[in-house]
């Protein structure tokens, strides 16, 4: 199990440090009924990831290409890592090319976050994970790593559960802090939203570039081994 978690760590970190998800949750927490909305949003994300795990975990387990013959990375996992690396580099390039104006208003759906009901937040979380190509590849890569490790049903479920929890750990911690200490969290939330909004572009470029190069190297190494 420990070896699998080490392999999953880059995927977890690549998901954790994507600032968009943190900004969405912080904006929800700063709005009326914020804890309920943010909790519903993260629950929607979790439900979609669980559905992906049930469906594609079974498919990968049944696929002979999902298991490595030499103890290294399987062809499926290596290919998925290569794909996610390429997608991240493309995202970094687009972010770098697009000069954003700090005075530009946010997108319409971001403006309406404070008016979103908890039920709609649940659907939004599920939808954004379901339609995000990079998130799909991240999840499939994690499932491929877990499947290749042959941990058995209980071990595979535990490993995937750990992956989901830690991939969303910053969101969960933000919700817990707001629920436990709402008054103290209010000032912190406003500062965090301002900082992340201001530095969203450079953070996104740096994260996409670093992890993109790493996943391309890891995927290519596995395919050439």
Quote the CA–CA distance of 27 and 156 in Å, as a whole number. Answer: 34
Average pLDDT score, the chain: 81
Q: What string of DSSP letters covers 20-58?
A: HHHHHHHHHHTSTTHHHHHHHHHHHHHHHHHHHHHHHHH
CA 118, chain centre distance (Å)? 21
Which pLDDT tens digit goes with each residue over 18-60?
A: 777 888 898 898 888 889 999 999 999 999 999 988 888 777 6
**Torsion angle, CA of 201/14/25/186, rounded to 10 degrees?**
-80
Query: Which pTM does this prediction carry?
Result: 0.80
* Confidence band of 101 (pLDDT split at 50, 70, 90): very low
* Confidence band of 66 (pLDDT split at 50, 70, 90): low
pLDDT at site 103: 39
Residue of 197 and 68 predicted with greater confidence: 197
pLDDT at site 109: 58
Has residue 99 got a pLDDT over 60? no
Has residue 98 got a pLDDT over 90? no
Has residue 7 got a pLDDT over 60? yes
Share of the chain above pLDDT 70, in %: 86
What are the structure tokens assigned to 86, written together?
Answer: 């390429």
Share of the chain above pLDDT 90, in %: 17
What are the structure tokens assigned to 99, written together?
Answer: 């000069």
Count how many Cα atoms sit within 13 Å of the Cα of residue 102 in the half-sphere of its side chain: 9
């Amino acid at each position: 199990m420990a070896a699998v978690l080490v392999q999953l760590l880059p995927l977890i970190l690549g998901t954790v440090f994507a600032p968009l998800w943190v900004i969405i949750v912080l904006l929800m927490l700063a709005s009326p009924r914020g804890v309920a909305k943010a909790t519903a949003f993260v629950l929607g994300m979790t439900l979609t990831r669980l559905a992906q795990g049930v469906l594609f975990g079974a498919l990968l387990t049944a696929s002979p290409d999902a298991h490595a013959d030499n103890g290294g990375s399987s062809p499926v996992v290596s290919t998925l890592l290569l794909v996610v690396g390429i997608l991240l580099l493309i995202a970094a390039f687009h972010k770098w090319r697009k000069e954003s104006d700090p005075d530009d208003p946010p997108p319409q759906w971001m403006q309406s976050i404070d008016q979103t009901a908890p039920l709609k937040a649940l659907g939004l979380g599920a939808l954004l994970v379901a339609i995000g190509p990079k998130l799909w590849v991240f999840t499939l890569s994690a499932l491929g790593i877990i499947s290749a490790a042959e941990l058995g049903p209980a071990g595979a479920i535990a490993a995937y559960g750990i992956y989901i929890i830690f991939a969303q750990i910053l969101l969960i911690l933000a919700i817990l802090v707001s629920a436990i200490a709402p008054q103290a969290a209010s000032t912190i939330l406003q500062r965090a939203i301002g900082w992340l909004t201001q530095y969203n572009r450079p953070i996104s470029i740096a994260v996409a570039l670093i992890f993109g190069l790493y996943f391309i190297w890891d995927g290519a190494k596995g395919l050439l081994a």
